[in-house]
Structure 1
Amino acid sequence: MDSFEATLDADRLPAISLVTRRLQRLIDQGFLEAAPGALAWELVTHAWALRPALFDGREGPRPHPLAVAAIALAEAVRLESFRGDAPLQAIYVLALSTLLDGIAREGELLRLQEVDRHLLDAARAVRLGHLHGDRLDPLRKPS
């Protein structure tokens, strides 16, 4: 791994850690069988790759790790919807819900920016079942 790749991984690590913890809880409760760290890395990396300039700060301020984790889980929900894997989709909805509920409880303590609110609004819409539609998809390149 070169230093550029190491930097990218370091930028993603806080979000990966947040997703890992949510997945580990679901594993502990028997809902999921997986390696939580590897799965979290895959989910965050997939979301990041869809719109890297959004996450790496080229399009404005970098999003908060909580917002990155939320949109990565929301994208996983959307992806499993497309694939037709309802049980895995439900597991990701559960992980997303616990993350969003935690963010709502911390609310004003977090220093969220406009980009974070946009990502969190999109993640909330996915949690509510609004899975398709460009307006709700901040990971698709704006036209």
Structure 2
Amino acid sequence: MDESEATFDNADRLPALSLVTRKLQRLIDQGFLEGAPGTLAAELVNHAWAIRPALFDGREGRKPHPLAVAAIALAEAVRLESLRGDAPLQGIYTLALSALLDDIALERETLPLHEIDERLIDAAQAVRLGRLHGDRLDPLRQPT
């Protein structure tokens, strides 16, 4: 990947990074989390993106809405912390995911969402509801 591709790739992630950063910043402000929210948000979004880059960069169809990307990145963080057995961090990420999904629910009918967005948001909702493992419709690990 040359430098111009990397810049474009990172620019594609910025809206989702901003959304996750804001949710994490709120948790820092409330005393639930410590650290640099932007750095942590970048780690979460980049991790999800790396699992299925063709999905996020549009090579498999339309690019997902930033809200859907942010939701699945937080959901993946919840799932990973569950696997690691870090219940406190899993709970913090679940709070951030819940706040984001609540925001999406308030605006869902007015958002320009398409099929992949719906699948990503539904998968994130399943994680929020505790269905963390073995979801055969996991859009990060299976073709959409």
Aligned residue in 2 for 1:75: 76
Distance 2:57 2:28 in 1: 30
Q: Report 1:1-143 matches (<5 A).
A: 2-142=3-143
Distance 1:70 1:13 in 2: 14
Deviation at 1:141, TM superposition (A): 3.5
CA 1:29–1:136 in structure 2 vs 1: closer, same or farther (change >3 Å)? farther
Identity over aligned pairs, percent: 76
Q: CA RMSD in A?
A: 1.3
4+ runs deviating over 6 angstroms: none
3-state SS of paired residue (2:126): helix
- AA aligned to 1:62 is K
- AA aligned to 1:4 is E
Deviation at 1:43, TM superposition (A): 0.2
- AA aligned to 1:16 is L
Contact 1:63 1:116 in 2 (8 A): yes
1:43-67 deviation digits (Å, cap 9, x = unpaired): 0000000000100111111000000
Distance 2:5 2:101 in 1: 31
Count of residues in correspondence between the two structures: 143
1:73-122 deviation digits (Å, cap 9, x = unpaired): 00000000010000000000000000000000012110100000000000
Contact 1:125 1:136 in 2 (8 A): no
TM-score normalised according to structure 2 size = 0.96
- AA aligned to 1:107 is R
